[in-house]
Structure 1
Amino acid sequence: MSAEAVVQAAVLAVLRADAVLSAGLNGVFEGPAVKASTPFAELGDLLSVDWGTKTAAGRELRVALTIRDAAETNARVQRLADAAGRAIERLPRALEGWRVASVVLVRLRVLRGPPGRWSATLEYRVRVMANEGDVE
């Protein structure tokens, strides 16, 4: 499988398996949630660039997650963003055909929308190398 598909599936799995997020969110969706009620999380577009060497395939991926909420303050969306970040940072290092070299938070942004609406967007850089002998 491609690095993109494997990493996206792994990120979804760790987010959906996290106890804090399961208790606090009405779902973690792959892409825009059409009929979800707040709070919920959406996995955004995935950006992928080459991170290989002369002898091994590698990818650097940018993974974005947005948590949307309706509340008086940003306290809950911030708490959920913190839990999501901890979950993403626990990404397994051995994935199907790939090994994770690093998982680094690039940015976290908490935004105020219309009155009573909040969102937190996390962007992570995930670098992976193909397992020896595996071909994309």
Structure 2
Amino acid sequence: MPFENPSREHIKEILQRTTTVAVVGLSDKPDRVSYMVSEAMQKKGYRIIPVNPMAKGSILGETVYASLSEIPESVDIVNVFRRSEEVVPVAEEAVKIKAKVFWLQQGIFNEEAADIAKAGGLEVIMDRCIKVEDSILLPGGK
């Protein structure tokens, strides 16, 4: 059976109950989409945890981690800004840290990663921008 994203109503419920979003591939460059999306989500009240093995120090005022496994707290959503062919290991790590949702940004789709995340008990959203969904579904905030 081909992959299908959850309904818009269910995505709204996911966003309403989310507090912490680990962003894999968050750039420290303000002109990058990952930075702009994460900054907008942070301004809406989400806690953003940067995950980028190439960045050091902090991004958006938050400590950067090299991997999901290094994050010392629970994560609601793992939001991924990586190429489709690079997301299977991210899905495996998201399962290991017991995240609740595996979210691949717009343009990113990988059935194998989705299957791994689902088998590990995570909800999966692919090829959708978290900022766009949040803006449409929760325009006034959470």
The answer, yes or no, to whether TM exceeds 0.5 is no
Specify which structure has the higher proportion of helix: 2
Larger Rg: 1
TM normalised by structure 1 equals 0.26
Specify which structure has the higher proportion of strand: 1
